[in-house]
Amino acid sequence: MKKPFVTVQQLEDIAARYPTPFHLYDEQGIRENARRLKAAFSWNPGYREYFAVQATPTPAILKILQEEGCGCDCSSLTELMMAGHIGCAGEHIMFSSNETPAEDYRLAAKLGATINLDDITHVDFLEKAIGYIPKRIGCRFNPGGTFSLGESREGFQVMDNPGDAKYGMTRAQITEAFRMLKAKGAEEFGIHAFLASNTLSNAYYPALACILFQLAVELQQETGCHITYINLSGGVGIPYRPEEPENDIAVIGEGVRKVYEEILVPAGMGDVALYTELGRFMLAPYGHLVTRTIHEKHIYKEYIGTDACACDLMRPAMYGSYHHITVMGKEDAPCDHKYDIVGGLCENNDKFAVDRMLPRIDIGDLLVIHDAGAHGLAMGYNYNGKLRCAEVLLQPDGSTRLIRRAETPEDYFATMIWDD
């Protein structure tokens, strides 16, 4: 059973200061998780985690991770600006984008970021945009087809369809891109790939590493390009459901080490640095969406209405994703009531849970929606004129601080032009 990282009394005290709904983050949990990840790959001297800014684009969170040695994985102009604002620059920024505007490339180059090209046509586009090809540059690889690990011991299958993804270059294209970049002055090369999302298997990263390490050996032999880094990107998942297995990052790191020593070291490439770009794994378990029950409805089903909605956490509405819910103060009560937990949007998919067995819920109860620390507020929107909620940081000493205020109607209207 998932347990909140706060007690009901703590949460009532926090809610008295910051009105619901709000996103609450556990600083201590974030730091401890970052340290576990760093330890798992400490065998690779050049290793660095580039936190996927898109998962939780909040400066205070980025600063915490920066203090733990993480860089920023950016994919847009504003993400680059945010990274620069917190003092992140140079080799501490990884810029991996697609359908990239010239303006984005110009800022990435100005900040000294490592740029990963998504398509072979971007070689000339980048050169035209910034006037040169950087000495250090990477390319994103897409092997096509279907990626599958079969069924794990826990009974969970890892499968995705790179061939249907819009990202990356084919095998022939990445070879040609390396040759083009080398001819234009590039000296240090990297490979980047993302083959599956939210995997619940310790075998995913080692399997991906095997593909990319073999590709690196072949590309270096075929093109003479000096490959200095391999970016495993993201994809290491978290168990949204209580019964799902949890990834063991230490086991994952050891699995990658074995493949590294089997493939890269014999090829004379034992100096290649490894990078990761984890978002969900780094933040999701350490964020709660906190909401209060404001209505109940008894028609053909039993509904519990909250003061949060899909604008605060889109995943259940958009993907049908499961997020565990705790009724605060009733953690040990029997789950003998079936509810749909809903928000107030004029869309019938605005539901955090459907036919969920929970303890009896009363108006005024606080609900914790788990694993909302990544792709929560980041995917927020303003449909129905709903305003994005606040973000609050729970600090290791038990105190809290506001790290993003709630939007106001003035914010919502600020970009509108009124024909008065």
pLDDT tens column, 178-221: 999 999 999 999 999 988 888 899 999 999 999 999 999 999 99
Do 262 and 338 fall into the same domain? no
pLDDT tens digits, one per residue of 96-113: 999 999 999 999 999 999
In tens, the pLDDT along 337-387 reads 999 999 999 999 999 999 999 999 999 999 999 999 999 999 999 999 999
d(CA 390, CA 404): 5
Which tens digit of pLDDT belongs to each residue from 390-418? Answer: 999 999 999 999 999 999 999 999 999 99
Average per-residue pLDDT for the chain: 95
Q: What is the CATH number of the domain that holds 134?
A: 3.20.20.10
Structure tokens at 345: 């949007």
Supply the CATH number for residue 401's domain: 2.40.37.10
Provide the percentage of residues in the chain whose pLDDT is more than 70: 96
**Contact partners, residue 2, CB within 8 Å, separation at least 6:** 242, 324, 326, 370, 371
Query: Is the pLDDT assigned to residue 160 strictly greater than 70?
Result: no
Task: Write out the residue range of the structural domain in which residue 323 sits.
Answer: 285-413
Asked if residue 1 is part of any domain, the answer here is no
Output the DSSP codes for 31-82: HHHHHHHHHHTTTSTT-EEEEEGGG---HHHHHHHHHTT-EEEE-SHHHHHH
* pLDDT at position 178: 98
* 307/295 Cα distance (integer angstroms): 9
* Pair type for strands 287-298 and 71-74: unpaired
Band of pLDDT at residue 157, cut at 50, 70 and 90: very low
Q: What pLDDT is stored for residue 355 in this prediction?
A: 98
Task: Output the pLDDT for position 181.
Answer: 98
Quote the pTM value: 0.94
Residues 314 and 268 in one domain: no
Q: How confident is the model at residue 301 (pLDDT cuts 50, 70, 90)?
A: very high
Length of the chain: 420
- Does residue 37 belong to any structural domain of this protein? yes
Residue 217 falls within a domain, yes or no?
A: yes
- Model pLDDT for residues 67-83, shown as the tens digit of each residue: 999 999 999 999 999 99
Q: Identify whether 269 is part of a domain.
A: yes
Query: Are 254 and 340 found together in one domain?
Result: no
What pLDDT, on a 0 to 100 scale, did the predictor assign at position 150? Answer: 54
Which pLDDT score is estimated for 43?
A: 98
Q: Give the pLDDT confidence of 245-284 residue by residue, as tens digits.
A: 999 999 999 999 999 999 999 999 999 999 999 999 999 9
